[in-house]
Amino acid sequence: MKPGDCLPMLKKWKAAEKMLILALDTTSFAGSVALLEDKNLISEVNSDSLLTHSERLLPAVDWLLRTAKLNISDLDGFALAVGPGSFTGIRIGLSTVKSFAYGIQKPVAPVSNLKALALKIKNPYQHLLCPMIDARKGEVYCALYEPEGPKLKEIIPQKCTSPDLFLTKLPSNRQIHFIGSGSQAYKKKIFDYFKDKARFSGRSLFTAFEVGLLGYERFLQKKGVDFRELKPLYLRKSQAEENH
């Protein structure tokens, strides 16, 4: 089987009334797994735990499928947050989904965790949406989005940079909604830059449902990939690469 060979099968699945998607996010300690039927959430498991994703991911998937009375073979595809975030968590998510996708020969929709966070606070008032994830070492993973109808338009591309360098590039004359561990870590700094233009979301940081929504859109656009084409989104080198 060559990369992309499973993609023509997606046309058959689209012809069916519903598409079952398993969505996973292992990019942070706040891991989550969700089961969707098209854009509708069937059930989800959210866990901010000291247990590793290796310990809790498969039990969460098993619980979701059992309670929905489904087998892994009933799924039509997978949506996965491929980064940015924890390098170890990303690798665990990738290896797990690659195994699932290989086993049942179904496609995967790779999704940015930053975009999933922005989608979580999307609203009809056209405010700017700024997801920021704490990347440690005085840096953040970040981007800037703006709602454009049902879509999210990327205003500033995803990057890993210092908070100050990123914040100076944001418009100071518009209200900006911030979300993510980076916005929590640098909340005072953000206030210093934007005063009353800054808004902070109280939503949880669990994003598997939003990952599933973005994955579903990718499937509709025929942008699902074969498991061998699945790659991580790191945005910067790992500690091991830097040391090397």
Residue at 107: amino acid letter: P
| Per-residue model confidence as pLDDT tens digits over 44-58 | 999 888 778 889 999
Residue 177: strand, helix, or coil: strand
Q: Are residues 151 and 194 in the same domain?
A: yes
DSSP secondary structure code for residue 156 in this structure: E
CA dihedral 57, 60, 65, 66 (to 10 degrees): 130
Residue at 52: amino acid letter: T
pLDDT at site 1:
43
Q: Are residues 40 and 107 in the same domain?
A: yes
Task: Record the pTM.
Answer: 0.90
pLDDT at site 48:
85
The DSSP code sequence of 55-108 is HHHHHHHHHHHHHTT--GGG--EEEEEEESS-HHHHHHHHHHHHHHHHHHT--E
pLDDT at site 8:
46
pLDDT at site 137:
94
Contact, 20 vs 70, CB < 8 A? Answer: yes
pLDDT at site 51:
79
Domain CATH number, residue 161:
3.30.420.40
pLDDT at site 179:
97
Q: Are residues 152 and 85 in the same domain?
A: no
Q: Are residues 130 and 212 in the same domain?
A: no
pLDDT at site 16:
47
Q: Are residues 179 and 153 in the same domain?
A: yes
pLDDT at site 11:
44
Range of the domain at 175: 122-200
pLDDT at site 228:
95
Q: Are residues 48 and 157 in the same domain?
A: no
Q: What residues contact residue 229 under an 8 Å CB cut-off, 6+ apart?
A: 3, 4
Q: Which residues of the chain have pLDDT under 70?
A: 1-17, 238-244
Q: Are residues 75 and 165 in the same domain?
A: no
